[in-house]
Amino acid sequence: MTAPLLTAAAVDAAARVFADVLPPTPLHRSDRLSAATGAEVWLKREDLQPVRSYKLRGAFNFIAGLSDEERAKGVVAASAGNHAQGVAFAGQRLGVGARIYLPRNTPRQKRDRVAALGGDLVEVIVTGEVYDDAATAAAQDAAHTGAVVVPAFDALDTMAGQGTVANEIVAQLGRVPDLVTVPVGGGGLLGGMATWLAAHASTTRLVGVEPEGAASMAAALAAGRPVDLEEVSPFVDGAAVRRVGDLTHAAVAATGTHLTSVSEGALCVEMLAMYQADGIIAEPAGALATTVLPDLRIEPGSTVVAVVSGGNNDVSRYAEIVEKALIHEGRKHYFLVTFPQEPGALRRFLDEVLGPDDDIAYFEYVKRSNRETGPALVGLELGHPDDLVPLLARMEASPLVIERVDPTSPLFRFIG
């Protein structure tokens, strides 16, 4: 059976539903990215929504369309955090009770925000490892209680609400952009925007950006239907979806939208740049659309819009983000160093192996039982990526036994 397609008219109707509740989010010019690309780069700041994510649009439009009988039974939802906040906000505004299921990889900051936004009308339930586990629990709840499931992406009303980002962009620019980049998880935002742009801005090039560890839409397009990914990296929690929806896949496939992906390391570099240079706190999914810009063919002087989809980042994650960024840039490396158990061994390592701008960022003995030698795991932060070659040469010349921990090694997952 062919999945029904979203229409641009449904997206326009959704915009009217919450016109008096959700004012358009700002469209800010990025001086940093404009200089880097030679284009006029604008950021659609969905991180400045009341719930700091575009997900509010779809949740509000869906719940607003329920009948009085459906509202009385309440709603249930599954989410990695942002959709949950949208459901909580919409339920509170519309007077509809909700039970919201969150996977365990949802940051604490998002959990707390869901509870605060929903107040007495929302119950938060944490279950499962990834979004799909939470979605299963929500579906079971609905089957037993008669509550209505508010899909995070795979419903026409949800997609229509999320797609309103596109008509706002064109209205705010006053013209059709040349390129729009959009983050992709389950595909609701991309499917909604692609549908509207295909009807009203057919010359606009649209690029969907997935995390490398959760490229479920690309897998669906390659297979001709939604498929389950064998593994999903939870790092980009707002886009860590094992299987995209039937409706979202149909919308993306029908519009011929191009997809690409970015690595976690590149994403972390961009998150730090957004924070330090632009003053924007973006969650990992929120930085997908800007991370990809250096990899795209962009005409100088063209108009580019990147959707900053969310800003619900837990501050406790920044240590991990900095670590991944340093490794991606080639400035942080790990080594197993076998030190002789004798005075001055560590001093010789510092004097003979380390360069003037190299710093020990991590040091831990991994085995202490041998009286002759003491293996240690050593993390080095370099002043510049080019310092690695002379460092390796000094290690080769050293009498110490030194083994580099390759980033592709399973061991690296425990330290990187």
d(CA 376, CA 315): 30
DSSP code, position 127:
-
- φ/ψ of residue 341, rounded to 5: -80, 75
CB atoms within 10 A of CB 117: 22
DSSP 169-209: HHHHHTS--SEEEEE-SSSHHHHHHHHHHHHH-TT-EEEEE
Query: Residue 361 belongs to what H/E stretch?
Result: strand 359-365
CA angle 312, 316, 320 (to 5 degrees): 100
Instruction: Please tell me the distance from the alpha carbon of residue 145 to that of residue 337, in angstroms, as a whole number.
Output: 59
Q: Which residues of 223-244 are buried (b: 16+ CB within 10 A; e: fewer)?
A: eeebeebeebbbbbbbbbbbbb
The catalytic residue among 216, 309, 324, 332 is 309
Which tokens hold the place of 227?
Answer: 């498929």
* Interacting residues of 106 by C-beta distance below 8 A, sequence separation 6+: 79, 80, 81, 84, 126, 237
Is 55 tagged catalytic? yes
| Residue 254 neighbours by CB under 8 Å, 6+ apart | 5, 195, 198
Cβ distance 192 to 159 under 8 Å? yes
Active site residue 53: no
Enumerate residues 6+ apart whose C-beta is below 8 A from 124: 84, 100, 102, 111, 114, 115, 118
> How far, in Å, CA of 255 to CA of 281, rounded?
32
Candidate list 44, 53, 55, 79, residue with the active-site label: 55
User: Looking at residue 23, what DSSP letter applies?
Assistant: P
Which residues are annotated as catalytic?
Answer: 55, 309
